[in-house]
Each structure stands twice: as C-alpha cells, then as structure tokens.
Chains A and B, each alone.
Chain A
Amino acid sequence: DTAVSQTPKYLVTQMGNDKSIKCEQNLGHDTMYWYKQDSKKFLKIMFSYNNKELIINETVPNRFSPKSPDKAHLNLHINSLELGDSAVYFCASSQILQERLFFGSGTQLSVL
C-alpha cells in the first residue's frame, strides 16, 4: 500500500487555468505538507497542516490554496496558473512536526 499518494503524477495545462492536486496518506499521521521543487532541485516548504489546521504558510501567492477535509487528506488548488508555477509539487506527512517526513512521488506541473 502506498503511504502517501498524490494525483495526478503529471499535469500539463495552459496559463490562466485552475488546477488541483490531491494528496492522501494512510499512515495515520497528524501533519501534512506541500513542498515545491524547482528545476534545480531546490525544495521549499509551501504549507503545513496539523490536524486539519494550517500551521505554516510560507510566502506563497494567494493563488495557491490548500484544503484539508480531514487528517488524511491535503489538497492543493492553484488558480490562474502562471509559467513560473511549473515545478514538481510534493505532498508529505509526518507524525511529529517537521521530523521524518514521508513524501509522495510528486506531481510534475507544466504550465504552457
């Protein structure tokens, strides 16, 4: 069974569109995250949720909106996509905040 699963794996879309990435974890973890990895492999935290509550919200455009319907899910919705949003987006989870993260396999977003 996949511990942290995110869909879709690839997302190709036009500028200006709205898209969502879904994430689910079956590890029973309390904390979930969204990270963005750019083309140089630099990994940056975007959001962190603990028990469905937002606890970290880095300097991310408000076009990005996370939604956590329950502890096991953290979805990422992106409005008005821009070329610079092209990257790989990783969902992750952990039992203790910021320790021993389990990552999903990533969603490669390409904005044309």
Chain B
Amino acid sequence: SQQGEEDPQALSIQEGENATMNCSYKTSINNLQWYRQNSGRGLVHLILIRSNEREKHSGRLRVTLDTSKKSSSLLITASRAADTASYFCAEGDGANSKLTFGKGITLSVRP
C-alpha cells in the first residue's frame, strides 16, 4: 500500500524553538492526520485536516495541507522538552477506508 514519507527523519532543537516536520503522500486523500508517539507508548491523535482545508490550528500546533504538492507540514511552536517524541503523518484515502501511516519523525527537544 502507499505510504507517506516524513521529512526530516530526525530533528533536534532547543527548547523554545519552533519545530517543522513535513510529510509527503501519494494517494488522493480524504484527510491527513498527525499523531505523536512517546517512547514505549501508543500513538496519540493530534490533529486532522481534510482535503478541502489548507490550514488548521490546535494550541501550539499548526498543520498545513497542499494537495497540489501532496504534502503537509506540522509546526510546533515554542517547543518544550515534553514534545520529545516520534511524530507520524497518516493519510486517509477515503475510498478504501484505509489509514496509512508514514515512517515517523523523531523529534528531540533539548532543555
């Protein structure tokens, strides 16, 4: 099955800086979702953006979607050490009702 690609694969920043993570996808999506996974834990849903939306905010999170480039970005502003985790984008293709996860980005926020 198709699978999104996140970029970069790993990101290390200082606390207080912004973190930008990108995701490219291959299918015609119904929605694009971002999840966070702390070490040894399950995934936590962060935000869902639909194919007819371009930008969405949730607290310190900002997600954009560019369907012409088949890409999405997740911006975490004013990062905290607690944001250290792996972040996954997941493409919902609607037609086959499948949610396909990317390989994940490891974010390290240094105190």
Contact = CB atoms under 8 A, between A and B. Distances in A.
Interface of A: 4, 40-45, 48, 55-56, 58, 90, 92, 97-106
B42 A4 contact: yes
B42 A104 contact: yes
Interface residues of B: mostly helix, strand, loop or mixed? strand
A100 B97 contact: no
Interface in B29-48: 31, 33, 35, 37, 40-45, 48
A4 B42 CA distance: 10
A98 B98 contact: yes
A90 B43 contact: yes
B98 A45 contact: yes
Interface size class for chain B?
A: 20 to 34
Contacts of B1: 58
B88 interface: yes
B4 to A, nearest CB: 11
A105 B41 contact: yes
Interface string B71-107: 0000000000000001010001000011111011000
